Amino acid sequence: MQYMILIYEPESAFEGEAGKNRLTDIVAKHMALSGELRASGVQKDGAGLQGSATATTIKTNGGVQTLHDGPFAETREHLGGYYLIDVPDLDAALAVARRVPVADGGMVEVRPLMVH
């Protein structure tokens, strides 16, 4: 089964000089995990996203589309990246998700992909 692991983190964790170091550190951990998961065939895809300041949102209301600056929701935590993995079941997916590095206050969400 394929699962998307969505990473939500407070962007404030990566601001300033200390934040920059934290980011370098966490990216290195992602590279290591991703390398291992790809080598074992578990990971199908994945990427980090640029900051939420780069986001543009298109809303559809009553058939009319409008463009908005910024991410869709005003929250402290933002979608910062994802892993797409293929594992036998939810327990296996959760085991991978537990290993995904996040900044303090961050969280990961595990969602199965639709099966067609």
Partner 1 sequence: MKRYGAAISAARPRVVAALAARLRDLDLAEDAFADACASALTAWPMQAPRDPAGWLWRAALRRAIDAKRRAAVRARAQLDPPDPLPTPEEALMAADEPIPDERLKLIFVCCHPALAPDSRAALTLKVVCGLSTPRLARAFFVAEPAMLQRITRAKKKIAGAGVPFEVPGRDAWPERLEAVLTTLEIAYAQAYEDAALAGETAGFAAEVLRLSGLLAELMPGEPEVLGLAALVRFAEARRPARLDDVGAMVPPPEQDIGLWRRDLIAQGAALLDRAAAAAASGPRQILAAIHACHCARAETGVTPWADIAALYDVLAAIRPHAATAVNRAVAIGEARGAEAGLAALAQVQGVEDWLPYQAALAGLSAKAGRRADARAAYAAALALDPPPAERLYLERRRRETS
Residues that bind partner 1 (CB under 8 A): 1, 3, 88-94, 110, 112
Nearer to partner 1, 3 or 83 (CB): 3
The one-character DSSP state at 113 is P
Distance of closest approach, residue 39 Cβ to partner 1, in angstroms:
23
Amino acid at 74: E
Which C-beta is closer to partner 1: that of 14 or that of 83?
83
At 2, list the tokens.
Answer: 């394929």
Cβ contacts of residue 51 below 8 Å, gap of 6+? 11, 78
Question: Tokens 């409008």 label which residue?
Answer: 66
Q: Report, in Å, the least distance between residue 84 CB and partner 1.
A: 15
8/52 with CB nearer partner 1: 8
Alpha carbon distance 60, 67 (integer Å): 9
Minimum distance of partner 1 from residue 112's CB (angstroms): 5
